[in-house]
Copies of this chain bind each other. A is one copy, B any other.
Amino acid sequence: MQDTREESIKKLNDLIEEMEIAMLTTIDGGVLRSRPMQTQDFEFDGSLWFFTSSNTHKAEELEKDNRVNVSYAAPGDNTYVSVSGTGAIVKDRAKIDEHWSDIYKAWFPKGKDSPDLVLLKVAVEQAEYWDSSSNTIVQVAGFLKALVTGERGGGGENEKINL
């Protein structure tokens, strides 16, 4: 099973590593809202990580309902990824130091010591993708072999995986 899980994580990593922007959907008082998130150079290991500010609506929203979706779209490559999980704001100093780059000063002018600089961690529970080998979008889809459970997705419009 371990190899399968590792392969699937690698596949997901390969799919999303070129995508600079993800759309993060949260639940805001019953309303689903999404916003663009700059993706960062974190290797996907079962969680997705983003730099963000603690002074945002999404931080408040996650306290009330932590369910999120992170979607990646590359229409030019006909590749789409949906990642489902739970989001949490964490202030992990070591991780911030490790991944900080001065290019993020565009968002955090005070650098990595900006008091509002935090990490958004998305613990991934399930992911699906549609990739460029598909010649139509609605009917076909990529596949992701099940990881932890070893079970395959249920078919239908595409297959999915539980992490």
**Residues of A with Cβ closer than 8 Å to B?**
20-21, 23, 25, 27, 30-38, 52-53, 56-58, 67-69, 71, 73, 75, 80, 82, 84, 106-107, 125-126, 128, 130, 135-139, 156-158, 160
Contacts and interface: CB of A to CB of B under 8 A. Distances in A.
Given A71-B25, A75-B20, A80-B21, A35 B139 contact: no
Nearest to A83: B34
B68 A35 contact: no
Contact of A126 (B31, B35, B136): B31
A36 B137 contact: yes
A98 B33 CA distance: 31
A138 B82 contact: no
B23 A80 contact: yes
B21 A52 contact: no
A23 B84 contact: no
B107 A138 contact: yes
Given A34-B25, A125-B31, A138 B53 contact: yes
Contact of A56 (B21, B37, B157): B157
A126 B25 CA distance: 14
